[in-house]
């Protein structure tokens, strides 16, 4: 019997999943499975890491997300309370079109539907349904919620709505069994619904950690998320210790009455193939004045800046500038420099403070003549090759510091110029440092502060120190 995990949370379900991607993929391979999914809560932060790790191990990566669906409109901020503010729904990308649509859906959840969680609605799902396979999710899914309340007809109507949105064969009723009585009730009703509607079943294990023995550490992680102590009675829990990467045999033991639903997981996996292209730079185009190309305009600006910055302009300066410009052209970054020049010029023209430049970009004469940086690379004998090197193809990285009080004005300018759909802000992930995590776990375990403090101070004060390193 073939089985594939299709409902899986990784470390990117922040402070909710402790299932580290590399360990998860290794475990899947160890158990003899050839495919695996990632479906983090409301986000796709881990998709690229997972895709690379899975491909490296010969595992077919199924890219997905467990989204939050608003009961009404995603714009409604008053509808529902508590658990009725949103329903869970698992979405899997079947192909590249589905992957593109999944990214749109998740983005809409943040930019338009955020209310406690990044929510979408049925209108968004209808607009971006192509290439996506949907599962009805856990007890927090809409179908399961109705069934728990004895509202079978409402549950069936919800299931048929989802089937109508995604198409027959693209929506599945999800069976789960973690030893929770409510799941057994829901599963019985889902079997009945399958018989009445013809909507196929699928079995999943709501994975939040990799191995069975990870249940206790995961429980501590939940306490960190909810600011609770392990001894607190009224706190979030994943009871029963069953939320790990189970083997196909374990899943078959759980669902001897639904072997077809187990097989459906593998059938879905065989349908899901997304190809992500790496190593290809895709940059926006900068609109230049009529009659000029981007290349001609960049040259014009740089040589004008050279005249302003240096007197006299020597042949050596011209040669250095031409060398940098030709490198930039050959590497395809002409428009990139014009874009950066433009928004920095906007900031300076509007008296928004801009830093003088830092990092390797300070070694570029092009950046200096454009006014992107204010440090003379010739005077300080700075190397352009540390910034941009044809022998080491990588995106140029220009660190720009704006006044924190007015940086939003620059962002809004870029949005107006290129469109909201072409501008994003990136996220940075922080991890718990060794000393900090000891203090946090000590608090969860309700250990005396003095004892925890003494243990934490045993960790050496070294850069990038880990607990494993400290123990050796």
pLDDT tens per residue, range 209-259: 999 999 999 999 999 888 999 989 888 889 889 999 999 999 999 999 999
* Mean pLDDT calculated for residue range 170-180: 97
Q: Using CA atoms, how far apart are residues 62 and 48, in angstroms rounded to an integer?
A: 11
Q: Is residue 312 located within the same domain as residue 244?
A: no
Q: Is residue 113 located within the same domain as residue 239?
A: yes
pLDDT at 343: 96
At 430, the pLDDT band (50, 70, 90 cuts) reads confident
Q: Using CA atoms, how far apart are residues 19 and 420, in angstroms rounded to an integer?
A: 34
Q: Is residue 451 located within the same domain as residue 367?
A: no
Does residue 427 form part of some domain?
Answer: no
Q: Is residue 344 located within the same domain as residue 384?
A: yes
* Mean pLDDT calculated for residue range 440-446: 92
Q: Is residue 354 located within the same domain as residue 416?
A: yes
At 304, the pLDDT band (50, 70, 90 cuts) reads very high
Does residue 440 form part of some domain?
Answer: yes
Least confident of 78-82, 98-102, 113-117, 315-319: 78-82
- Report residue 212 as tokens: 């069975």
At 91, the pLDDT band (50, 70, 90 cuts) reads very high
Tally of structural domains, the chain: 3
Task: State what percent of residues in the chain have pLDDT above 90.
Answer: 82
Q: What is the span of the domain harbouring residue 463? A: 434-471
pLDDT at 397: 86
* Mean pLDDT calculated for residue range 406-414: 95
Task: Indicate if the alpha-carbon torsion angle 38, 39, 41, 44 is positive or negative.
Answer: positive
Q: Is residue 121 located within the same domain as residue 258?
A: yes
Q: Is residue 311 located within the same domain as residue 222?
A: no
* Mean pLDDT calculated for residue range 414-425: 89
Task: State what percent of residues in the chain have pLDDT above 70.
Answer: 99
Q: Is residue 243 located within the same domain as residue 387?
A: no
Does residue 14 form part of some domain?
Answer: no
Q: Using CA atoms, how far apart are residues 298 and 102, in angstroms rounded to an integer?
A: 37
Does residue 177 form part of some domain?
Answer: yes
What's this model's pTM, rounded to 2 decimal places? 0.89
pLDDT at 81: 62
Does residue 451 form part of some domain?
Answer: yes
At 427, the pLDDT band (50, 70, 90 cuts) reads confident
Q: Is residue 208 located within the same domain as residue 302?
A: no
Q: Is residue 376 located within the same domain as residue 442?
A: no
Q: Is residue 164 located within the same domain as residue 100?
A: yes
For the cut 70, the answer to whether the pLDDT of residue 82 exceeds it is no
């Amino acid at each position: 019997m073939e089985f594939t995990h299709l409902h899986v949370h990784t470390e990117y379900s922040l402070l909710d999943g402790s299932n580290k991607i590399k360990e998860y993929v290794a475990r899947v391979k160890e158990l003899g499975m050839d495919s695996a999914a990632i479906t983090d809560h409301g986000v796709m932060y881990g998709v690229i890491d997972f895709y690379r790790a899975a491909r490296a191990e010969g595992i077919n990566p199924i890219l997905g997300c467990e989204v939050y669906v608003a009961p009404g409109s995603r714009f409604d901020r008053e509808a529902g309370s508590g658990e009725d503010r949103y329903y869970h729904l698992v979405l899997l990308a079947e192909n590249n079109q589905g992957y593109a649509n999944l990214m749109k859906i998740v983005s809409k959840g943040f930019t338009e539907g955020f209310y406690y969680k990044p929510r979408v609605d049925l209108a968004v799902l209808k607009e971006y349904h192509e290439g996506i396979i949907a599962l009805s999710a856990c007890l927090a899914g809409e179908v399961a919620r109705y069934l728990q309340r004895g509202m079978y007809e409402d549950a069936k109507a919800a299931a048929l709505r989802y089937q109508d949105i995604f198409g027959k064969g693209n929506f599945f009723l999800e069976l789960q069994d973690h030893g929770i009585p409510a799941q057994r009730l829901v599963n019985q009703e889902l079997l009945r619904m399958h018989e009445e509607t013809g909507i196929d079943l699928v079995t999943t294990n709501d994975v939040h950690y990799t191995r069975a023995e990870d249940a206790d550490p995961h429980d501590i992680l939940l306490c960190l998320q909810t600011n609770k102590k392990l001894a607190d009675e009224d706190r979030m829990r994943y009871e029963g210790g069953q939320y790990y990467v189970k083997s196909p045999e374990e899943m078959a033991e759980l669902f001897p009455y639904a072997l077809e639903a187990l097989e459906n997981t593998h059938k879905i996996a065989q349908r899901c193939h997304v190809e992500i292209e790496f190593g290809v730079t895709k940059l926006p185009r900068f609109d230049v004045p009529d009659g000029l190309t981007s290349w001609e305009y960049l040259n014009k600006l740089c040589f004008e800046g050279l005249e302003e910055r240096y007197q006299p302009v020597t042949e050596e300066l011209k040669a250095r500038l031409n060398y940098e410009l030709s490198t930039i052209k050959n590497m395809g970054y002409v428009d990139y420099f014009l874009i950066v020049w433009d928004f920095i010029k906007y900031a300076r023209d509007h008296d928004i403070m801009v830093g003088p430049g830092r990092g390797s970009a300070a070694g570029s004469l092009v950046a200096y003549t454009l006014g992107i940086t204010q440090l003379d690379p010739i005077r300080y004998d700075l190397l352009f090759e540390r910034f941009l090197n044809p022998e080491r193809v990588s995106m140029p990285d220009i660190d720009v510091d704006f006044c924190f009080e007015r940086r939003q004005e620059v962002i809004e300018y870029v949005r107006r110029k290129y469109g909201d759909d072409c501008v994003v802000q990136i996220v940075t992930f922080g991890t718990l440092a060794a000393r900090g995590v000891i203090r946090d776990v000590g608090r969860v375990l309700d250990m005396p502060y003095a004892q925890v403090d003494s243990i934490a101070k045993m960790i050496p004060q070294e850069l990038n120190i880990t607990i494993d390193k400290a123990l050796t």
